[in-house]
């Protein structure tokens, strides 16, 4: 009898959570075509693409041969932890870049902490790392038991403050997660008391975050999130400060998590997902689309680029060029590439192979995963990703690098 009562309770909670959105405030259009990753987003002059176009698969998987200018590569500072993962980035008001990542003895361990450090672009040097949040601090701030931390995601609020979303787990694995956040008035030097986001009126479990937020025209944020309990699907959270004021399902079933979003205008956007399909289904990138600024999402045709159940990163530059960093293989995470789609094209092409252990035997393959992209000025890009769970790699792509990459693509297309 107790199991029946528990099942009924869970069913009721699920129904109420699904209906929770009905009385929420009216939705606003997207603010721009640009993700909420820079401090000066409102001042950027941006170009948008004309509506949603069909997306073609990679033309070929051979990288474009790049000459000068070279990429600038380094590592996030070493904290001494044996395992690091899930790096994210945000541009500061002075042009520097702040990184966040979690580190500990292993993913999900009680000793995992969320670290941060600042990259000075003039000196090409990272500051010493500091701890933003550990398990004990999260427990005290949230007044609840916290077993583990994960996935920090920074955003720029409409009033200029910095907000950091992160995942907390009180019981079970990642499927038992919820999202919490802290806010900083001084660009990440200090943080206020953490607050838990309530995305469901009763259980409020299995909501995680991995990808950058988008801005709405009314100053609120659209946060791509996902579930891993019962189903594996994406959700789009409408956030006002530290409150979830609405949420919408982006996909269904058990096949798509960790959405990244490209906007095509005030009402139109496409979400690309990490696939979590069964072995019999295509190992490609699931896609959903919205034509009403995220209020409803419709599953679309897969993007025919291989995906091995691994996260992807996405970024739109000011000239309309779109970038993704991903593992373009069907199994493993030993190859990481950057693909590009020009503003006037529907064709994705590999422009840089970042890591590739394909020539090594299986037990020697390293993991290159969880990429995260931002731009400081709309013309460049900073990339961070996990390097074999031991380090976090940082790569800077200058505006000159992208100009050269685009020129090479044009030459290839003209041949």
Kindly give, in sequence order, each residue whose CB lies less than 8 Å from that of residue 169, ignoring residues fewer than 6 positions away: 108, 146, 147, 148, 149, 150, 176, 177, 178
Kindly give, in sequence order, each residue whose CB lies less than 8 Å from that of residue 263, ignoring residues fewer than 6 positions away: 30, 32, 33, 34, 48, 214, 269, 316
pLDDT of residue 179: 96
Per-residue pLDDT 10s for the chain (415 aa) are 444 444 444 455 444 444 444 456 789 999 975 444 444 433 333 333 333 444 456 655 455 554 568 899 999 999 999 999 999 999 999 999 999 999 999 999 999 999 999 999 999 999 999 999 999 999 999 999 999 999 999 999 999 999 999 999 998 888 889 999 999 999 999 999 999 999 887 678 889 999 999 999 999 999 999 999 889 999 999 999 999 999 999 999 999 999 999 999 999 999 999 999 999 999 999 999 999 999 999 999 999 999 999 999 999 999 999 999 999 999 999 999 999 999 888 899 999 999 999 999 988 999 999 999 999 999 999 999 999 999 999 999 999 999 999 988 888 777 7
pLDDT of residue 334: 98
User: Judging by beta carbons within 10 Å of its beta carbon (0-12, 13-18, 19+), is residue 190 exposed, middle or buried?
Assistant: exposed
At the topology level, CATH places domain 31-414 in Neuraminidase (2.120.10)
Q: Are 261 and 224 in contact (CB under 8 A)?
A: yes
* pTM greater than the 0.85 cutoff: yes
- Count other Cβ atoms within 10 Å, centred on residue 65: 7
Q: Are 337 and 352 in contact (CB under 8 A)?
A: yes
User: What are the sequence ranges of the domains in the chain?
Assistant: 31-414
Side-chain-side CA neighbours of 1 within 13 Å: the count stands at 0
């Amino acid at each position: 009898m107790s199991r029946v009562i528990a099942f009924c309770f869970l069913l009721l909670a699920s129904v109420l959570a699904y209906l929770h959105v009905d009385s929420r405030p009216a939705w606003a259009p997207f603010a721009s075509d640009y993700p909420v990753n820079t401090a000066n987003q409102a001042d950027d002059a941006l170009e948008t693409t004309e509506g949603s176009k069909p997306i073609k698969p990679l033309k070929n998987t051979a990288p474009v041969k790049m000459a000068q200018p070279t990429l600038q590569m380094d590592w996030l500072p070493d904290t001494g932890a044996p395992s690091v993962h899930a790096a994210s980035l945000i541009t500061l008001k002075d042009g520097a870049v702040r990184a966040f990542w979690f580190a500990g003895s292993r993913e999900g361990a009680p000793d995992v902490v969320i670290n941060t450090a600042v990259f000075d672009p003039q000196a090409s040097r990272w500051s010493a790392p500091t701890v933003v949040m550990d398990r004990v601090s999260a427990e005290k701030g949230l007044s609840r038991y916290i077993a583990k931390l994960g996935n920090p995601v920074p955003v720029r609020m409409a009033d200029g403050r910095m907000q950091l979303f992160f995942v907390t787990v009180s019981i079970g694995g990642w499927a038992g997660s919820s999202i919490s956040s802290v806010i900083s008035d001084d660009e990440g030097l200090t943080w206020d008391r953490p607050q838990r986001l309530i995305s469901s009126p009763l259980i409020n479990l299995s909501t995680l975050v991995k990808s950058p937020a988008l801005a709405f025209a009314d100053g609120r944020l659209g946060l791509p999130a996902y579930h891993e309990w019962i189903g594996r699907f994406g959700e789009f959270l409408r956030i006002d400060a530290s409150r979830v004021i609405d949420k919408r399902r982006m996909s269904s079933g058990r096949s798509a998590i960790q959405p990244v979003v490209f906007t095509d205008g005030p009402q139109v956007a496409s979400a690309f997902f990490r696939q979590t399909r069964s072995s019999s289904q295509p190992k490609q990138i699931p896609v959903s689309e919205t034509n009403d600024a995220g209020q409803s999402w419709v599953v679309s045709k897969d993007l025919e680029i291989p995906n091995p159940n691994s996260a992807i990163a996405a970024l739109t530059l000011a000239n309309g060029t779109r970038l993704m960093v991903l593992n373009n293989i069907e199994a493993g995470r030993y190859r990481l590439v950057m693909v590009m789609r020009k503003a006037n094209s529907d064709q994705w092409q590999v422009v840089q192979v970042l890591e590739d252990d394909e020539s090594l035997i299986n037990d020697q393959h390293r993991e290159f995963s969880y990429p995260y992209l931002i731009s400081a000025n709309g013309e460049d890009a900073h990339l961070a990703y996990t390097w074999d769970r031991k380090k976090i790699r940082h790569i800077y792509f200058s505006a000159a690098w992208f100009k050269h990459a685009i020129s090479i693509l044009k030459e290839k297309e003209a041949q």
